Amino acid sequence: MYDNLLANVPTDLWIGGKWRKASDNARFDVIDPATEKKIASVASATVDDAKAAVDAASDAFEAWGAKKPRERGEILRKAYELTMRDAERLAKLITLENGKALSDSRGEVAYAAEFFRWNAEEAVRNLGQVSRAPSSGARILVQHKPAGIAVLVTPWNFPAAMATRKIAPALAAGCTVVLKPASDTPLTMLALMPILEEAGVPAGVVNVIPSRSSGKVVSAMLHDPRVRVVSFTGSTEVGRKLLREAADNVVKPAMELGGNAPFLVFEDADIDAAIDGAMIAKMRNMGEACTAANRFYVHEKVHDEFAKKLTAKMNALKMGNGLDDGVALGPLVNAEGRDKVMSLVDDAVKKGAKVLTGGKVPDGPGFFYPATVLTNVPDSAAMLNDEIFGPVAAIQSFKSEDEAIKRANDTEYGLVAYLYTKDMNRGMRVSEKLDFGMIGLNRGLVSDPAAPFGGMKQSGIGREGGHEGMMEFLETQYVSLNW
Ligand code: NAP
């Protein structure tokens, strides 16, 4: 089954339009989380390889930045079409290295490809402005230039989409990039490189360097004066480190970090709609998403009905190898992720939470954790402060709107919040009081390439997607002039 899938997947470093071994020949293993078997051995970039990748990005920069926006846009449009042509193969590869159910992987590939299409359209809308200085009367001309070489660092939970969400706007803006994918899931991006080459992306414009020495390799690139942007998606902890490193050369940061999403259900909500939304917000990607609903706050009048219906839906999910038919719940990405979920559930149960379903690790192989619903979760439970990153719904009840808002905002994170109510006055009133970059109002899914994705507080800096996405890769230049 694997051999077919893996037959043509490259496993070396993609630098300057060529496949290369690591300079010290080091490699690392990629594991199928459903079977715990090795599926590939991938070259592990060294600091020298990272320098070679920045050299390649630097050599390609001038010509790529000088290309007409329409030409860049057409290459991105072609990348969209070719990614969709190869969607099924890419989806299976994502499931193989990440574990998620094939239906989730198919959704991810379509989402990933959309970033190429959206940014193909954005490439030709790099708008400036002309105005008159109020006092001097001189002209103020504002234009945007490609910011330079961008270092992109991506996580394992969406191996395709988190990368294309950066590559596509960077290329639209005229930047060249070096991408370091997560070590758990490097194959998807390596598999995308021949597709980008076929689409017409010139050598050196996109370079991909998996590495087991992430810290050293990324640090070396951030200290190379040619690098002007770092765009990172991952944990807040690593984001803080990279912000410190970026400070040395004042590299422009874009940070998509952790979340701790509240999901509010008011007493006037359509409960069935809220359950459907909850299943998406919680279970997309087995809960391994920064946007995953982490804390359910349900009005006391509808709490029991919500918990019962959610439990029934969670029970109906088939768990198994993500490549198998009908499976909705694959394994978590690795043993560490599974053990973290297990310890958060054990901690909550020890402190008094009630298990309505799930809560027990099944026999191996595979890093499986079952769909789990907990009620009576005490405020002291660690899972209310920490991202669960697994298929566990923690439900608490509330009495008043003010209480719900206060508890929802009681977190250092501010990525996304969800709320369900039929009263749109309340919906907008509460939305405005929630300190989150994105709100799902009667919706369990907010991600959209055409919308600005990103967080407030310690969930990040900057936005991806929408019109804002390309701006992260542009510098604003103002020319003061008379004519
Ligand atoms: P992570 O441990 O922070 O890793 C993310 C990336 O950073 C990986 O490529 C990793 O490489 C690399 N990395 C790790 N340590 C590094 C260091 N010292 N210097 C430079 N790079 C380093 O996060 P993760 O566990 O992969 O992903 C889960 C996190 O991502 C969650 O917190 C989730 O909320 C967040 N996330 C946020 C968004 C968003 O848009 N806000 C979207 C998706 C995920 P290795 O794999 O080699 O360690």
Residue type, 418: Y
Q: Are residues 46 and 66 in the same domain?
A: yes
Residue 90: which residues within 8 A CB-CB, separation 6 or more? 83, 105, 109, 160, 188, 191, 192
Catalytic option among 108, 122, 245, 290: 290
Interval between CA 182 and ligand 1 midpoint (Å): 7
What's the CA gap between 175 and 249, in Å, rounded? Answer: 18
Is 154 part of any domain? yes
Locus of tokens 């939470």 = 353
For 395, the domain range is 261-448
Indicate if 266 and 206 belong to the same structural domain. Answer: no
CA 155 / ligand 1 centre spacing (Å): 4
Both 205 and 285 in a single domain? no
Cα-based torsion angle of the residue sequence 274, 286, 218, 251 in order, rounded to the nearest 10 degrees: -10
List C-alpha distances in Å: 27 to 69, 151, 212: 38, 22, 8
Same domain, yes or no, for 334 and 242? no
Which residue, judged by its Cα, is nearest atom 19 of ligand 1?
215
Q: Which among 97, 108, 245, 256 is annotated as catalytic? A: 256
Specify the residue with its C-alpha closest to ligand 1, atom 20. Answer: 215
Same domain as 312, residue 249? no
pLDDT score at 483: 84
Give a yes or no: residue 176 inside a domain: yes
**Residue 234 CA to ligand 1 centre (angstroms):** 3
| Unique residue bearing structure tokens 């799930």 | 358
426 in Cβ contact with 266 (< 8 Å):
yes
Task: Report the interhelical angle of 236-248 vs 214-222 (nearest 10°).
Answer: 30
CA distances from 8 to 82, 180, 200, 474 (A): 16, 21, 20, 36
* Bridging pattern class, strands 227-233 and 206-208: unpaired
Ligand 1 near 182 CB (within 6 A): yes
Confirm whether 24 is domain-assigned: yes
Gap from CA of 257 to ligand 1 centroid (Å): 8
454 part of a folded domain: no
Is the C-beta atom of 235 inside 6 A of ligand 1? yes
Is 245 in the same domain as 286? Answer: no
* Residue 92 in contact with ligand 1 by CB distance below 6 A: no
Q: Is residue 187 part of a domain?
A: yes
228 close to 246: Cβ distance less than 8 angstroms: no
Closest CA to 100 of 313, 390, 329: 329
175 a catalytic residue: no
Phi/psi-derived region of residue 176, left when phi > 0, alpha when psi is between -120 and 50, beta in every other case: beta
Prediction pTM value: 0.98
Q: Among the atoms of ligand 1, which is closest to the Cα of residue 238?
A: 3
In a domain, 117, yes or no: yes
Protein residue closest via CA to atom 32 of ligand 1: 235
Looking up residue 414, the CATH number of its domain turns out to be: 3.40.309.10
How far is the centre of ligand 1, averaged over its atoms, from the C-alpha of 231 (Å)? 11
Rounded distance between C-alpha atoms, residue 326 and residue 343, angstroms: 29
> 187 and 45 in one domain?
yes
> What total number of domains does the chain contain?
2
Give the span between the Cα atoms of 448 and 84, in whole angstroms.
17
The helix/strand/coil state of 233 is strand
Ranges under pLDDT 50 in the chain? none
Would 124 be classed as within a structural domain?
yes
In a shared domain, residues 244 and 183: yes
Chain length of the chain:
483
Task: Examine the domain organization and report whether 212 and 296 are in the same domain.
Answer: no
Catalytic annotation on 36? no
Tell me the C-alpha to C-alpha distance, in Å, between residue 14 and each of 145, 300, 469, 478: 26, 55, 25, 36
Please answer whether residues 325 and 364 qualify as being in contact, where contact means their C-beta atoms are separated by less than 8 angstroms: no
Same domain for 422 and 293, yes or no, is: yes
In this prediction, residue 5 carries a pLDDT of: 83
The string of DSSP codes covering 427-452 is HHHHHHHS--SEEEES-S----TTS-
* Residue 89 in contact with ligand 1 by CB distance below 6 A: no
Report the pLDDT value the prediction gives residue 7, as an integer from 0 to 100.
87
Dihedral (CA of 435, 440, 444, 448) sign: negative
Tens of pLDDT, residue by residue over 236-269, are 999 999 999 999 999 999 999 999 999 999 999 9
| Ligand 1 in reach of 155 Cβ (< 6 A) | yes
453 within some domain: no
The best mutation among 100, 179, 214 to test binding of ligand 1, ranked by most ligand atoms within 8 Å of the C-beta, falls on 214
458 Cβ closer than 6 Å to some ligand 1 atom:
no
CATH number at residue 158: 3.40.605.10
Alpha-carbon 232 to chain mean position = 9
Atom number, ligand 1, closest to the C-alpha of residue 459? 41
Answer yes or no: do 310 and 389 share one domain: yes
Maximum Cα–Cα distance across the chain: 77
pLDDT of residue 284: 95
Question: Which of 475, 470, 476, 472 has the alpha carbon at shortest distance from 118?
Answer: 470
Q: Does 347 share its domain with 395? A: yes
